[in-house]
Structure 1
């Protein structure tokens, strides 16, 4: 068989400080897309474009008019969550194949460059998202979000080659922390533009559009650092024989079949997909909730999300330090309890009150980074050697703003009730179910079943 003809190549998890710095900085580069585009500006901006397409004023809730998308009539307020959901549905088919190709390619840096620059180009293309072009915005976001996910699959597959079991929590947490600094730095520049938009002669829509474009430029420019410092290694699972795409599909088939041999890895993955759907939906739709339900202006919303980014740096490093004491598994479980508290508070926040929203943002920042960074390092311990890219392809389906069940539930809840509060509280199900599922995973036994050595503390 083409996909299995060559035996896996064992690569010791050693790396230079320079290479690790390069790896950290891809998170710095791509976090601008997560923060500026997905979390802050695109949701409200695309919703405003959709409202214009429906013939509604920007301050109109627009609960009676619909827009046409592929022959379906939907409310303008549901366009962005549905677009996020569709993009992730498509990544279900794309990302595992990308991971399989990465495992069989000795040119992972080039794969990283391909997906990063395609995503950045699609983001920059949103310069033309004006008037009533909501279909253009949805299409460009689909391309950018899928390319983003594909690039992160390749990026994550470097982690087991850069750090051993005892180092991985710290390396993963530092990468996430630097990512939040990168996303926060660009957002800070965009906040200045929001605060001084009148002096600059720009409308709120113009600032949003230019901020979205700036994220694409940032993504492209800073991707050059990891491309210079990361080094290609022999293919983790042996080089492909024949066309890489065909071999990738074949290997995906083999990977899906082999999952039954690692039921505990699969169970962890399912638990992660559930609770991370909730996390990613909160990240992606927080700005929509703030503007549409809480009636907060960009002057409040954007600085609050900026604060979240910098607090997330301390949250990620702090939870990384906590994981050294009590273990990554217990720390992630604790973070899920805190997420349920966050949603409960969000549900009862009063409209038009900035201070409670800012305080809630502080809580999100402290819990956000650690739950994601430690989940990544935990999953890396559960992957059989030589299959890092394939398994991270499955993992990335619900990572960093690419969840789909959460936005779908959010959109359906809003469509049924016309209430963003009902929509946000419906996400509690993801955190409760995810907590119970993760609690049921015997982590030490799962790591050993995958053929890996467990860290001392879990």
Structure 2
């Protein structure tokens, strides 16, 4: 999928547009942190829905299916938004589908008969959230310049972590922690979690509005405008772009493959972190949220601080160090899983310490590697390849849990994906001064 960066009407981006764009990241924490990671997924894998190990495996399979759907459909949806010049429209459409699905989670009562509904809503939400993310990331070029793109991107990333902390605090003290929360809400029949889903939906809807109202719609430059193409033709174009990169900039192809794998492992750390905390280490729903707040603080600080090391040492050493740190921390969580909550509080937070830096340095590594004039094309492939393997971590998690019959074995599944990504990354060599 090829994309050319163009600022609307040639106008320089403004601070207001940057803030409006970043508020979508702030709002998206409602789905990332509350729905997928620390509240709804933990609720679904609780004893109210059946055997926790069986339900955890079913969750893994549901997210794996969602990942496969994203891999099949993302190139088509991205191509249509690029060629139609309706990038903001599709961002809004997909965002509000996610809002609707999150709202529907209110109807998932604490009973095994509602498990399938919950899994379907969660999987569908992940699919449409990924579609929205494709268009949101593509809009980065509309609110930044070549000199500010890294700073703006980091600001958005940081806003996401901060938004997660604020929202988690609200739902924890408002509904999860008290015996009787706001508006008389209790935990009976999962009501506290179900109402939290309504709050999350409203939060996402509210903070998605600034980017839709303030940032102009993307305009396809006349020099690259092309006719809409069909479903299968989009993959022909994708293959052509990859072939051209293979012939002219082979290290980029190697890095795209490696980063796609280890980025999915990073996503798996957060996706299944709350499930592991609850089902393996006995965290209550309130304790999971407290851990989530601490995790976001650690990840946010580490991500902001790593920029200095990235500039001084280069991106690849940062990524390799972070992946090694993740593997060591993950193995400690697995080997010491009988050690109680203190193990997860220490080794689990250590995992979070390395996730953000690996994500951030991955983006800067590629930015320094891209030949001048091909940034949009390569970052389009970066997004597409990442989504093409987004089923790896959920599938690996589900396979290990299914084979060994215990949720803690899923940790090894995630670690396997991270290890594979590290092994693919190590041979990648590149002259990172290309775009300086």
Alignment of 1:107-146 (within 5 A): 107-130=86-109, 131=111, 132-146=113-127
CA distance in 2, matches of 1:169, 1:250: 33
Match of 1:397 in 2: 387
CA distance in 1, matches of 2:80, 2:252: 21
CA shift digits 1:310-346 (9 cap, x unpaired): 2222111111232222233332222112111220221
CA distance in 1, matches of 2:414, 2:260: 13
> Is the Cα contact below 8 Å between 2:185 and 2:191 reproduced in 1?
no
- Pairs aligned (count): 420
Q: CA deviation at 1:396?
A: 4.5
RMSD: 2.8
- CA 1:444/1:20 → structure 2, altered by over 3 Å: closer, same or farther? farther
> Is the Cα contact below 8 Å between 1:95 and 1:393 reproduced in 2?
no
Match of 1:67 in 2: none
Q: CA deviation at 1:172?
A: 2.1
Match of 1:232 in 2: 217
Match of 2:244 in 1: 261
Provide TM-score, normalisation by structure 2.
0.87
> Is the Cα contact below 8 Å between 1:42 and 1:208 reproduced in 2?
yes
Match of 2:208 in 1: 223
- CA 1:298/1:156 → structure 2, altered by over 3 Å: closer, same or farther? same
Match of 2:34 in 1: 36
1:203 aligns with 2:190: no
| 1:301 corresponds to which of 288, 295, 306 | 288
- CA 1:195/1:10 → structure 2, altered by over 3 Å: closer, same or farther? closer
- CA 1:303/1:89 → structure 2, altered by over 3 Å: closer, same or farther? same
Deviates more, 1:88-97 or 1:250-259: 250-259
CA distance in 2, matches of 1:186, 1:334: 31
Match of 1:68 in 2: none
Give SS of 1:444's match: coil
Alignment of 1:35-114 (within 5 A): 35-48=33-46, 52=49, 56=50, 61=51, 75-114=54-93
CA distance in 2, matches of 1:96, 1:266: 17
| 1:214 corresponds to which of 199, 213, 216 | 199
Match of 1:148 in 2: 129
CA distance in 2, matches of 1:248, 1:229: 32
Deviates more, 1:427-436 or 1:144-153: 427-436
CA distance in 2, matches of 1:317, 1:13: 29
Consecutive unaligned residues in structure 1, runs of 5 or more? 64-74
CA distance in 2, matches of 1:62, 1:303: 21
Deviates more, 1:209-218 or 1:267-276: 209-218
- CA 1:396/1:360 → structure 2, altered by over 3 Å: closer, same or farther? same
- CA 1:322/1:163 → structure 2, altered by over 3 Å: closer, same or farther? farther
> Is the Cα contact below 8 Å between 1:99 and 1:388 reproduced in 2?
no
Q: CA deviation at 1:413?
A: 0.9
CA distance in 1, matches of 2:122, 2:199: 15
CA distance in 2, matches of 1:166, 1:328: 18
Higher helix share: 2
> Is the Cα contact below 8 Å between 2:302 and 2:356 reproduced in 1?
yes
> Is the Cα contact below 8 Å between 2:45 and 2:56 reproduced in 1?
yes
CA shift digits 1:96-129 (9 cap, x unpaired): 1122223223232112111111111111111111
CA distance in 1, matches of 2:304, 2:275: 28
CA shift digits 1:146-198 (9 cap, x unpaired): 11001111111123444455543333222111111011211111111211134
Q: CA deviation at 1:224?
A: 0.5
> Is the Cα contact below 8 Å between 2:257 and 2:385 reproduced in 1?
no
Provide TM-score, normalisation by structure 1.
0.83
- CA 1:180/1:318 → structure 2, altered by over 3 Å: closer, same or farther? same
Deviates more, 1:435-444 or 1:38-47: 435-444
CA distance in 1, matches of 2:320, 2:68: 27
| 1:173 corresponds to which of 154, 162, 165 | 154
Consecutive unaligned residues in structure 2, runs of 5 or more? none
- CA 1:175/1:201 → structure 2, altered by over 3 Å: closer, same or farther? closer
CA distance in 2, matches of 1:10, 1:159: 10
| 2:406 corresponds to which of 407, 419, 422 | 419
